[in-house]
Amino acid sequence: MKPIHSIVAGGAGFVGSHLCDYLITLGHKVTCVDNLITGSKDNIAHLRKHRNFKFMKRDVVKPLPSRFRKADYIFHLASPASPVGYMQNSIETILTNSLGTLQLLDICRKSKGKTKFLFASTSEVYGNPLVHPQTESYWGNVNSFGPRSCYDESKRLGEALVYEHLHKFNVDARIIRIFNTYGPRLNENDGRVVSNLITQALKGNDLTVYGDGSQTRSFCFVSDLVEGIWTVISKPKTRGEVFNLGNPQETTIQEFSQLVIELCGTPQTKVIHKPLPTDDPIRRKPDITKVRQILGWEPRISLKEGLRQTIEWYRGRI
């Protein structure tokens, strides 16, 4: 029997590389398409010799091979994801989430229903939310003209493109909105709070908390997210649906910094405060009622447990 063929756009990134691992263990033939703008070959080095794995260095904004139409699944995870990453690559981010999404949707359109599509959107489509926790039906509070707009607005446009392809061209597509996810392979230099604070603590530097640290985030461990991604694309009746994927355990950044110090075992570490970046969302927590009730998915790894595993991974590299 022919193996299932999955294409992972952005497969050399943090989440994408874990998804490639997961699909390989399911027995899929996996094609990882990545231009390495924020990803790294190191993330997929262990897969390079696997007979079911193929890496293609390619920009999804440019036309893609017509043979991709034979794929069973396309996971569109390509896009810088950290504020530092997308602000440094702002135009590329806009193009990847708009034209790149269009290119990948076009493959699904031409596959005539064979290829299932999943678009990785983000909690950033809710902006600085006025509704808490955030449900999928909330339209968001997004600044269209600011330093985060390249990411937030291009993800929103990506969602609109998915909508049009569902309704005009009958494409088999769904959207996930990912909330802050962390774990091994999170790029040490991409400026996210998890990578910054852990590497600072392990190197004996001060921890940088932006603002007074009262802003909240809800952190999901990457293995939970990857199981969620597979659940959303593989279960029936998800065509045309939008699902939040994240861990509803909410924490302030101040509390998070203390947990990092405790788990790194560095009680001497000091916290210093730096200015809160423009348009930094004040509160963020996913309402995951929909995915829990319809698909039976929920995260299993607590923040403490996930951080322990993540810190061990960084410890081995610093």
Tell me the catalytic residues: 151
Minimum CB distance to ligand UDP smaller for 128 or for 234? 128
In whole angstroms, what is the distance from residue 204 CA to residue 316 CA? 15
At position 262, the amino acid (one-letter code) is: E
Under rule CB under 6 A, residue 64 binds ligand UDP: no
CB of 84 to ligand UDP, least distance (A): 7
Nearer to ligand UDP, 45 or 272 (CB): 272
Q: Where does this chain touch ligand UDP (CB under 6 A) — which range of 91-99, 187-195, 237-245, 291-299?
A: 187-195
d(CA 301, CA 249) in angstroms, rounded, equals 10
C-alpha–C-alpha distance, residues 80 and 15, integer Å: 11
Q: Is 180 in the site for ligand UDP (CB under 6 A)?
A: yes
Q: What angle do CA 207, 78, 162 make, to 5 degrees?
A: 120
Nearer to ligand NAD, 20 or 166 (CB): 20
Q: Does 217 bind ligand UDP (CB under 6 A)?
A: yes
Among 40, 128, 143, 208, binds ligand UDP (CB under 6 A): 208
CB closer to ligand UDP out of 138 and 210? 210
Identify the sign of the CA torsion 231, 233, 239, 243.
positive
The span from the CA of 183 to the CA of 9, in Å, is 20
- Could you say which of ligand NAD, ligand UDP, none residue 209 binds, taking C-beta under 5 to 8 angstroms by partner kind? ligand UDP
Look up residue 197 and give its two tokens. 């604070």
What is the distance between the alpha carbons of residues 76 and 81, in angstroms, rounded to a whole number? Answer: 13
For ligand UDP (CB under 6 A), the number of binding residues is: 16
Q: Which residues bind ligand NAD (CB under 6 A)?
A: 9-10, 12-16, 33-39, 59-61, 77-81, 85, 96, 100, 120, 122, 178, 180-181, 187
Our finding on whether 215 is near ligand UDP (CB under 6 A) is yes
Phi-psi region of 193 (alpha: psi -120 to 50; beta: other; left: phi over 0): alpha
- Pick from 196, 199, 238, 310 the residue near ligand UDP by CB under 6 A: 196
DSSP per position, 173-235: EEEEEE--EE-TT--TTS--HHHHHHHHHHTTPPEEEETTS--EEE-EEHHHHHHHHHHHHHS
Does the footprint of ligand UDP cover residue 277 (CB under 6 A)?
Answer: yes
* Residue 101 binding partner per list ligand UDP, ligand NAD, none, with a CB distance cut-off of 5 to 8 Å that depends on partner kind: none
Selection from ligand UDP, ligand NAD, none that 127 binds (CB < 5 to 8 A by kind) is none
Site string for ligand UDP, 234-253 (x = CB under 6 A): -------------------x
Q: How many helices (H) and strands (E) does the chain have?
A: 10, 13
* Nearer CB in complex with ligand NAD: 150/263: 150
Please name the amino acid found at residue 155: K
Are the beta carbons of 3 and 27 closer than 8 angstroms? yes
Residues that bind ligand UDP (CB under 6 A): 82-83, 180, 191-193, 196, 208-210, 215, 217, 253, 276-277, 280
